[in-house]
Homo-oligomer: A and B are copies of this chain.
Amino acid sequence: AADLCGIDKVYRIGGVQAIGAMAYGISPLAKADKLFGPGNQYVTMAKQLVSRQGIAIDMPAGPSEVLVMADETADPTFVAADLISQAEHGPDSQVILLCLSEEFLQTVLVELDLILETLPRAEMARKSLDNSIGIVLKDTDEMLAFSNEYAPEHLILSVDGASEAANGVVNAGSVFIGNYSPESAGDYATGTNHTLPTNGYARAYSGLTTQSFMKTIQYQELTPNGLMDLGPDVIRMAEEEGLDGHARAVSVRLKKIRNEKF
């Protein structure tokens, strides 16, 4: 991939020192114009600081989250495992379970306890489960409405007609469709990007894409005839705004075009 893109330098660096080195161009690194990728709270702050100096960053990423929508077709063992795989990230991770019955919720809680008994990072997971909630709602539409309002970083759709439900997703970073699409598959193997909007930012932001590495520049070229057509409107609007200089930039040209014609 690097070869196809013409990338011939790869550095293995990390932490705030890496952000500083890339932002200011400490030799042998060239000064970077865009700095993307996830990091801890110190890296996030470093990225925000250098972004004030004109360096584009992806987004100020916060703690990771998952929202699982589960109906009676979901497997409570899978659901519990998905919640745990997010909760074990760190004590500030948040997991949310939306389901359709109190019984399902209780079954998942039992499964959670079972996993925690033998999980190496159980302490971390317990802390983040303390910040987490399970909510019983009426139907898939109500769960979708909640999810779109919450705008989760990761959204797992363990519901009947998951593909159809996916069409109703308006705000989310990355969506996992059906019972065999765990979030960890997205983290490591499905090829979707792992740098995603957290903390409700999915309402306004997209995850990282190849587009994030691109830039657009606007171009315009007017012929003398084109300026003859557009010019009078430009002059009128500029004068209306009291910007006489703007009007003159057009009128001096129109004068020359007319002189050359006659």
Contacts and interface: CB of A to CB of B under 8 A. Distances in A.
Interface of A: 33-34, 52, 54-56, 60, 75, 77-78, 81-82, 84-85, 87-89, 115, 119-121, 125, 162-163, 166, 169, 172-193, 196, 199-207, 209, 211, 215-224, 226-227, 230-231, 233-234, 237-238, 242-250, 252-253, 256-257
A249 B183 contact: yes
Given A56-B205, A82-B249, A245-B85, A222 B120 contact: no
From A55, A169, A238, A243, residue with most partner B Cβ within 10 Å: A243
B215 A205 contact: yes
A36 to B, nearest CB: 11
A253 B182 contact: yes
Copies of this chain:
2
B184 A33 contact: no
A156 to B, nearest CB: 10
Contacts of A224: 180
Contacts of A166: 219, 221
A3 to B, nearest CB: 22
A166 B190 CA distance: 40
B33 A204 contact: yes
A234 B189 contact: yes
Contact of A33 (B174, B203, B231, B246): B203
Given A187-B246, A199-B54, A245-B121, A193 B181 contact: no
